[in-house]
Amino acid sequence: MSERRILIAPSILSADFTKLGDEIRAVEDAGADMIHVDVMDGHFVPNITMGPFIVEAVRRATDLPIDAHLMVTNPDEFADPFIEAGADYVVFHAEACYDVAELIRHIRGRGVKAGLAVNPPSSADLIEPHLANIDLALVMTVNPGHSGQSFIADVMPKLAHVAELKAERDLGFLIAVDGGVGPKTAGTVVANGGEALVAASAIFRAGDIGEAVRGLRGAAESALPGAA
Ligand code: DX5
Ligand code: ZN
């Protein structure tokens, strides 16, 4: 078995918010590695979701790392409120930021991990100059806006390219994949270099949340090089 470890990052976008704390505990008990919070502003994406107060609530519900995925047009104005709310990772879109290097510096300067997200139509060139300075690359496999969309397999060559760059340069950032990830797509994600699997509907709409986390991990791990 390879030493590469798969991380499971449930996205609470599909959680039942009348019992958010219970659902977070269920994914934690099932071995989830981090909690993904999808922040949408109604401008960068056609939907409005959660603000820093949700991150504050998640922070009180779990000690797992929280990654705040900012799908907003002005991430430079919103990094600080999410850091103050308790996010461990602040992930913003390269497409939405004028001075990417400066925002990475700012986030890391506050002792928080910085992540860069890239949408399906965007080239990896958008994040390539920053790979040595980030903690996480979030490769989107849907056009962000809603959970429950279909996985865009055309993104796989870009994911593999990001993984190659990481290996060639011996970098430490985590490669996360977000959108349409579930037991059926986990194998191709892992085969192309994905390390952290973000999943909303495949976990929170699956019936048994704990089973869904374990099933996703099993599907992902069986695609690791050297797995039986
Ligand atoms: C894209 C969000 C994703 C999304 C994932 O709109 O950034 O995190 O909620 O949802 P599923 O896993 O259902 O595709
Ligand atoms: Zn997301």
CB contact at 8 A, 94 and 118: yes
Supply 190's token pair. Answer: 């892992």
Rounded distance, CA 177 to CA 200, Å?
12
228: confidence class by pLDDT, cuts 50, 70, 90:
low
Q: Is pLDDT above 70 for 92? A: yes
Distance (angstroms) between ligand 2 centre and the Cα of 164 equals: 23
CB contact at 8 A, 88 and 109: no
Phi, then psi, of 74 in degrees rounded to 5 = -125, 65
Count of CB atoms within 10 A of residue 31's CB? 11
Pocket of ligand 1 (CB under 6 A): 11, 13-14, 36, 38, 69, 142, 144-149, 178-181, 198-202
- List CB contacts of 195: < 8 A, sequence separation 6 or more: 4, 5, 6, 7, 174, 175, 176
Supply 20's token pair. Answer: 């958010």
Which protein residue's CA is at the shortest distance from atom 10 of ligand 1? Answer: 147
Distance (angstroms) between ligand 2 centre and the Cα of 177 equals: 9
Which tens digits make up the pLDDT trace of 132-191?
999 999 999 999 999 999 999 999 999 999 999 999 999 999 999 999 999 999 999 999
Whether this prediction's pTM lies above 0.95 is answered by yes
Average confidence (pLDDT) over 69-79: 98
Which protein residue's CA is at the shortest distance from atom 3 of ligand 1? Answer: 179
